[in-house]
C-alpha cells in the first residue's frame, strides 16, 4: 500500500467512524421544544380526543421558528390553521388540537411554542380630588411653556405619533378634537369566523372603538398621553402630557389577551415609519416613536425572553421606537416580583413605569402609590425603571362606560352635552401614558435620539423622592425596587437631549 493510499484509507476510516458516531442522535427521536407556561397549562386541560377537529377543541398557539418559513411549514405539516403571522420575528399564530400542537414541537426549525392568556388593564380604585396636578409634578407644563424642540415649536409633542394599545378610543370626545386620532384599528383575531390574516381591521377615525367590557380605559389612557388642552366647565384645565402629538389607537377587540396585544405590537412594528400609509405626509400623520401598553397579567409573572411580545418589542427598539409598560397594580413588599413580565426586559428603550402619588398638589416629594407593583428586592431586573403620577389622574371618560363609572369624581367638559366626560382614575395604567407622552416630547427635542438614549435621559435626571425603599446603584443608575430611578423630570430630561429655552 502506498503512503497516499494509506492516508486515504485513514481519512476515509476517520470519516466513517465520525459519521457512525454522528448518526446516533439522528436516528433518535427529536427533542420536543419548550412550551410557554400558559400553553403547558392549556394542554393539560385540553380535550385529548385524537383527531378532534371541533373548533372548541382547538387552541391558539404561537409557533416560533428559526425563520418565518420554518414556522409556516410546521403549521402546514401538522394540519393547524393559520390565524396570522409576525413576519419580522418568525412567528405564526395558529389554531390546533392538542395532538397537532404536540406534533409541532418536533418539527424542523421550530424553537418555541407559546400560548394565549387573558391580560388585565392596570387601573385601580380612585380617591376624590379637586384637580389634576400631574403635569406640575412631572414639570411637563413647565417644559411646554419654557422649552422648544428641534422643530422650533414649543415642547408639546408635535411631529410625533403615539401608538396606544388598549380597549380603543372615543374620537368624538373633546380631548381628541381637531384630527387628533390619525389612525384607528380594531382586533378581530379572537373571532374564529375572521378570514383576514392581519387580525386587525381599519376603522374610520371618527368611529368609537372603546365599547368593550373595559370601555373607557383606552380613552382615558389616550387622553393622558396626548389629549389636547381642554377647559372644563368648572374653569380647570386638563391636558395630556404631549397635547400636540397624534394618536394611533389600536383596540384589542373582544378582549385584552396576549394574542390581541401581540398582534397590535406587530402592527406597530410593520407600520411605525408611515402609520397612515406612504401616501399620507408625515406632517399629517407623523411616525410612531413610542407605544403605550397599560395592561398585563394579574400579579405580574416571570420574564420570558422567548415570548413574541419580547421579540416584538426588542425589534421595535432596534427600529427606533420606545416601548412603555405599566408596571402593574399588585403592590408587594419586595419579597417577590409582582411587576409586569415584558416590562422587566433590560433592553434600553423598554420602560417600566411605577405610580407616584402627587397628593393632589403637584408635589415632587410624595410617596409611591401603595398599589404600584414592586419588583423583587434581590432581582434588580424586575424593578420598575421610573415613576410618574398615576394616582387620581383626571382624563377623558364617558360616564356610561364600565371603567369610567368606577371613577369617583365625574366632571363636565366644555360643551353642553359633555356631561361626566372627564373622571378621576388611578393605576399604573395612568402613570405609563404620562411617560409615553413625555417620550414624545423628548423625541421632539432630539428626533435622532435612540430609544436607549431616551431612557437614559429619563432615568439619569429623575428626582429621587425619598419615600419607600432606599436607592441603590445598579447598572449606572440610582434605583429602587419600588419606584425605579425616581420621579420623572421632564424639563431636566428634555434639556439633557438638547431642548432649549424660548
In a domain, 15, yes or no: no
Kindly state the cell numbers that stand for 26.
439522528
* Average pLDDT rounded to a whole number, residues 403-423: 81
In CATH, what number is assigned to the domain containing residue 90?
3.30.70.80
Regarding whether 442 and 495 lie in a shared domain, the answer is yes
Boundary-marking domain end, from 90, 115, 140: 115
Give pairs for 415-421: CB < 8 Å, separation 24+: 415/174, 418/174, 418/233, 421/173, 421/174, 421/396, 421/397
In a domain, 14, yes or no: no
Regarding whether 392 and 484 lie in a shared domain, the answer is yes
- Altogether, the residues listed in the chain come to a count of 502
**SS3 state at 90:** coil
Q: Which residue has the cell 449606572?
A: 476
278-288 pLDDT, tens digit per residue, is 999 999 999 99
Regarding whether 479 and 338 lie in a shared domain, the answer is yes
How far apart are the C-alpha atoms of 30 and 107, rounded to whole Å? 8
* Closest by CA position to 454, among listed 442, 436, 437, 441: 442
Full domain range(s) for residue 62:
37-115
Regarding whether 313 and 271 lie in a shared domain, the answer is yes
**SS3 state at 194:** coil
CB 179 within 8 Å of CB 155: no
pTM of structure = 0.89
Regarding whether 207 and 60 lie in a shared domain, the answer is no
Kindly state the cell numbers that stand for 404.
369610567
* Closest by CA position to 375, among listed 385, 366, 367: 385
For residue 166, what pLDDT band results from cuts at 50, 70 and 90? very high
CB 293 within 8 Å of CB 326: yes
Regarding whether 403 and 268 lie in a shared domain, the answer is yes
Regarding whether 157 and 110 lie in a shared domain, the answer is no
Count structural domains, the chain. Answer: 2
In a domain, 19, yes or no: no
Regarding whether 90 and 225 lie in a shared domain, the answer is no
* Closest by CA position to 378, among listed 272, 483, 472: 472
β-bridge mates for residue 477, sequence order: 474
Regarding whether 470 and 329 lie in a shared domain, the answer is yes
In a domain, 42, yes or no: yes
In a domain, 375, yes or no: yes
**Eight-class DSSP state of 32:** P
* Closest by CA position to 285, among listed 443, 440, 159, 444: 159
437-487 pLDDT, tens digit per residue, is 999 999 999 999 999 999 999 999 999 999 999 999 998 999 999 999 999
* Closest by CA position to 165, among listed 86, 257, 59, 233: 257
Per-residue H/E/C for 436-502: HHHHHHHHHHCCCCCHHHHHHHHHHCCECCCCCCCCEEECCEEECCCCCCCECCHHHHHHHCCCEEC
291-329 pLDDT, tens digit per residue, is 999 999 989 999 999 999 999 999 999 999 999 999 999
How far apart are the C-alpha atoms of 241 and 494, rounded to whole Å? 13
> b/e per residue, 127-161, with b = 16+ CB within 10 A?
eebebbbbbbbbbbbebbebbbbbeeebbbbbbbb
How far apart are the C-alpha atoms of 348 and 305, rounded to whole Å? 15
169-194 pLDDT, tens digit per residue, is 999 999 999 999 999 999 887 665 55
Regarding whether 95 and 63 lie in a shared domain, the answer is yes
Q: What is the dihedral of CA 69, 71, 77, 79, to 10 degrees?
A: -130
In a domain, 432, yes or no: yes
Kindly state the cell numbers that stand for 24.
446516533
Of 231 and 376, more confident: 376
Regarding whether 61 and 132 lie in a shared domain, the answer is no
Boundary-marking domain end, from 55, 88, 115: 115
In CATH, what number is assigned to the domain containing residue 368?
3.40.50.200
For residue 234, what pLDDT band results from cuts at 50, 70 and 90? confident
Regarding whether 298 and 233 lie in a shared domain, the answer is yes
Boundary-marking domain end, from 115, 142, 176: 115
* Average pLDDT rounded to a whole number, residues 85-102: 95
Amino acid at each position: 500500500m502506498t503512503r497516499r493510499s494509506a492516508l486515504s484509507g485513514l481519512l476515509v476510516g476517520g470519516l466513517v467512524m465520525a459519521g457512525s458516531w454522528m448518526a446516533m442522535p439522528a436516528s433518535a427521536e427529536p427533542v420536543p421544544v419548550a412550551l410557554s407556561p400558559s400553553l403547558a397549562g392549556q394542554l393539560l386541560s385540553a380535550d385529548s380526543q385524537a383527531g378532534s377537529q371541533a373548533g372548541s377543541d382547538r387552541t391558539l398557539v404561537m409557533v416560533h421558528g428559526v425563520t418565518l418559513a420554518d414556522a409556516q411549514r410546521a403549521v402546514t405539516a401538522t394540519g393547524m390553521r393559520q390565524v396570522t403571522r409576525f413576519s419580522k420575528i418568525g412567528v405564526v399564530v395558529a389554531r390546533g388540537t392538542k395532538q397537532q400542537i404536540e406534533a409541532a414541537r418536533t418539527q424542523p426549525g421550530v424553537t418555541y411554542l407559546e400560548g394565549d392568556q387573558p391580560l388585565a388593564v392596570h387601573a385601580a380604585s380612585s380617591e376624590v380630588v379637586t384637580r389634576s396636578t400631574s403635569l406640575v409634578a412631572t414639570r411637563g407644563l413647565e417644559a411646554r411653556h419654557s422649552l422648544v424642540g428641534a422643530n422650533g415649536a414649543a415642547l408639546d409633542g408635535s411631529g410625533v405619533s403615539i401608538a396606544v394599545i388598549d380597549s380603543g378610543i372615543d374620537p368624538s370626545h373633546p380631548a381628541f378634537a381637531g384630527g387628533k386620532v390619525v389612525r384607528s384599528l380594531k382586533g378581530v383575531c379572537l373571532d374564529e369566523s375572521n378570514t383576514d390574516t392581519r387580525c386587525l381591521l381599519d376603522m374610520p377615525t371618527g368611529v368609537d372603538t372603546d365599547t368593550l367590557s373595559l370601555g373607557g380605559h383606552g380613552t382615558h389612557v389616550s387622553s393622558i398621553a396626548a389629549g389636547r388642552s381642554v377647559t372644563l366647565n368648572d374653569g380647570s384645565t386638563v391636558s395630556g402630557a404631549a397635547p400636540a402629538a397624534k394618536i394611533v389607537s389600536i383596540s384589542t377587540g373582544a378582549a385584552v389577551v396576549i394574542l390581541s396585544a401581540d398582534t397590535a405590537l406587530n402592527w406597530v412594528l410593520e407600520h411605525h415609519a408611515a402609520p397612515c400609509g406612504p401616501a399620507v405626509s408625515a406632517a399629517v400623520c407623523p411616525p410612531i416613536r413610542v407605544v403605550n401598553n397599560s395592561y398585563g397579567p394579574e400579579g405580574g409573572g416571570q420574564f420570558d425572553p422567548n415570548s413574541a411580545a419580547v421579540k416584538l418589542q426588542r425589534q421595535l427598539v432596534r427600529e427606533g421606537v420606545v416601548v412603555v409598560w405599566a408596571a402593574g397594580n399588585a403592590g408587594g413588599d419586595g419579597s417577590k416580583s409582582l411587576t409586569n413580565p415584558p416590562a422587566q426586559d433590560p433592553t434600553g428603550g423598554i420602560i417600566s413605569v411605577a405610580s407616584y402619588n402627587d397628593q393632589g398638589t403637584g408635589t415632587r416629594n410624595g410617596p409611591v402609590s401603595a398599589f404600584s407593583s414592586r419588583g423583587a428586592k434581590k432581582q434588580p431586573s424586575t424593578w420598575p425603571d421610573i415613576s410618574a403620577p398615576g394616582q387620581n389622574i383626571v382624563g377623558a371618560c364617558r360616564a356610561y362606560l364600565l371603567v369610567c363609572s368606577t371613577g369617583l369624581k365625574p366632571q363636565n367638559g366644555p360643551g353642553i352635552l359633555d356631561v361626566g366626560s372627564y373622571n378621576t382614575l388611578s393605576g399604573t395604567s395612568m402613570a405609563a401614558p404620562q411617560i409615553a407622552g413625555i417620550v414624545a416630547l423628548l423625541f421632539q427635542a432630539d428626533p435622532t435620539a435612540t430609544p436607549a438614549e431616551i431612557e437614559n435621559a429619563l432615568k439619569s435626571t429623575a428626582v429621587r423622592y425619598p419615600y419607600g425603599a432606599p436607592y441603590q446603584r445598579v447598572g449606572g443608575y440610582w434605583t429602587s425596587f419600588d419606584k425605579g430611578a425616581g420621579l420623572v423630570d421632564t424639563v431636566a430630561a428634555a434639556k439633557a437631549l438638547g431642548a432649549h429655552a424660548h
